[in-house]
Amino acid sequence: MGLNDTPRANRIHIGLFGCRNAGKSSLINALTGQNLAIVSDTPGTTADPVFKSMELHPVGPVVFIDTAGFDDEGELGQLRVKKTAEIIDRTDLAIVVIDGTAPDPQPESDLNPSSGISADLNQQWVRQLQDRKIPVITVINKWDRLTEPQRDAVMQACNASAGCSASNISSANAASARASRPIPVSAVTGEGIEALRQAIADAVPEDAMRERILGDLAGSGDLALLVMPQDIQAPKGRLILPQVQTIRELLDRRCTVVSTTADGFSRALDALSRDPDLIITDSQCFGMVYEKKPAGTKLTSFSILLAAAKGDIHVFTEGAAAIEAAAGSAFRNKAAASSAAADSATVDSAAADSAADPAEPELFRVLIAEACTHVPLNEDIGTVKIPRLLNKIFGDRVRITNVRGNDFPSVSELKEYDLIIHCGACMFNRQHVMSRIASAREAGVPITNYGIFLAWANGILDKVVLP
């Protein structure tokens, strides 16, 4: 990725689903005007999901996800279908591609070489996607190969089948009506591709890209002080993405932006001729910044901003409240008192011991999920700092499991946990995090994230502003 490129996590994720040979890869090539995806008449050409980032006029930065056919067979085929199904979790908008030359069961028709199996599958997938509240556009491909009467028959069959209507398109009514009809296209001649592009623009969910990170927290003329992280996870020579995005948005809003590190915080305050309107801090020095900040200055953290942009801030704060309930306020206060010590290497085992309360449940099982797949660092938040804080709160009653990247337990496996703590997910798109939140809710397990947990553990969650 070049320095000026939109990161993948900030792009609308458009998943293409359909049977093998329906023309999914050809359609991506037609939409992008480039030969990006491998096309062949051998069914099963696309094996693993393939991501293609591009600027799609008039939508903006998108990433197309080309998938293996959902009718794939055999042991390997089933594994490929599983991979395709996993893509649903991160799909903001789905295109279901139907092969117009093998569309719908019509036993008498010569249009039906595939005996209707794929039509049922198409409907199943459309329904599955719609159940997940994902807007679906249905496309009838290979239109160029059909005669006029065949076109009418295929269109009728598709309209008649409930699976062919994209009823959950959330845009304006006219756009909805337009999008609810299957769109005939030819990936080979380009017919219908412009109409498909427009349908995509109409169907993109409004909250797929919560461009505004700051909500109502900052306005024109405000003075914002940013307290940047200084830990070893910061990449050498650059800033991490949430900070870059925050600075950009503050500048777009005509704010004055001043940056400091934690150890320069007091010096930065002294250097200003007035109190800042807003301080955005690295969550790891929350406590110190809260203590020292001017009374009238609003305080929030990068992680809280990201949690709101990349998930559901209210669910996350409820998740923190669930720890409160499990731990009791006495533990919370203990954690707050020892928050400064949380960064030091020594665990106060006396405090941990005294935190054990026979009235509390035996074990508190916590899943810590990290989006990044980087090798854990010495002072890693997910594997060192948060476990240390949990030990302070729950003593040896806490059981912690760490997962990374795409390894996230199924709903039934999630039931094994009392709490999920997710990272800020700067590498994921919002839909991906929302899918995990939905799984957690289905399993009945509270979910929170790093920033909200740290704010809670430091006892100041109720003292920060939420976007």
Q: List interacting residues with Mg ion (CB under 5 A).
A: 25, 45-46
Residue closer to ligand GTP (CB basis): 144 or 357: 144
- Nearest distance from residue 49's CB to Mg ion, in Å? 10
The two tokens of residue 11 are 């792009």
> Does residue 141 belong to the site contacting ligand GTP (CB under 6 A)?
yes
If contact means CB under 5 to 8 A according to the sort of partner, which of ligand GTP, Mg ion, none does residue 391 touch? none
What is the 3-class SS of 325-374, one letter each residue? HHHHHHHHHHHHHCHHHHCCCCCCHHHHHHHCCCCCCCCEEEEEEECCCC
> Does residue 180 belong to the site contacting ligand GTP (CB under 6 A)?
no
Q: Give the CB-nearest residue to ligand GTP.
A: 23
Binding residues among 41-80 for ligand GTP as defined by CB under 6 A: 41, 43-46, 68-69
Report the residue from 10, 21, 161, 339 that binds ligand GTP according to the rule CB under 6 A. 21
> Does residue 25 belong to the site contacting ligand GTP (CB under 6 A)?
yes
> Does residue 144 belong to the site contacting ligand GTP (CB under 6 A)?
yes
Q: Classify residue 406 by its DSSP letter.
A: T
Sign, CA torsion 461/429/366/321: positive
Residue for token digits 């909805």?
176
The two tokens of residue 25 are 């890869």
188's CB contacts (< 8 A; 6+ apart) are 26, 30, 142, 144
Q: Classify residue 400 by its DSSP letter.
A: E
Alpha-carbon gap, residue 192 to 373, rounded angstroms: 40
- Nearest distance from residue 191's CB to ligand GTP, in Å? 8
Closest CA to 368 of 307, 325, 422: 422
If contact means CB under 5 to 8 A according to the sort of partner, which of Mg ion, ligand GTP, none does residue 41 touch? ligand GTP
Residue closer to Mg ion (CB basis): 122 or 245: 122
Binding segment toward ligand GTP, per CB under 6 A, in 114-122, 142-150, 304-312, 454-462: 142-150
CB 273 within 8 A of CB 256: no
Backbone angles phi, psi at 240, to 5 degrees: -80, 160
> Does residue 15 belong to the site contacting ligand GTP (CB under 6 A)?
no
> Does residue 121 belong to the site contacting ligand GTP (CB under 6 A)?
no
> Does residue 102 belong to the site contacting ligand GTP (CB under 6 A)?
no
Report the residue from 10, 13, 14, 20 that binds ligand GTP according to the rule CB under 6 A. 20
CB 311 within 8 A of CB 301: no
> Does residue 186 belong to the site contacting ligand GTP (CB under 6 A)?
yes
Bond preceding residue 229 cis, omega within 30 of 0? no
> Does residue 10 belong to the site contacting ligand GTP (CB under 6 A)?
no
> Does residue 32 belong to the site contacting ligand GTP (CB under 6 A)?
no
If contact means CB under 5 to 8 A according to the sort of partner, which of ligand GTP, Mg ion, none does residue 106 touch? none
Residue closer to Mg ion (CB basis): 140 or 313: 140
- Nearest distance from residue 178's CB to ligand GTP, in Å? 21
Strand order in the sheet with 298-301: 256-261, 223-228, 278-281, 298-301
Residues that bind ligand GTP (CB under 6 A): 18, 20-26, 39-41, 43-46, 68-69, 141-142, 144-145, 186-188
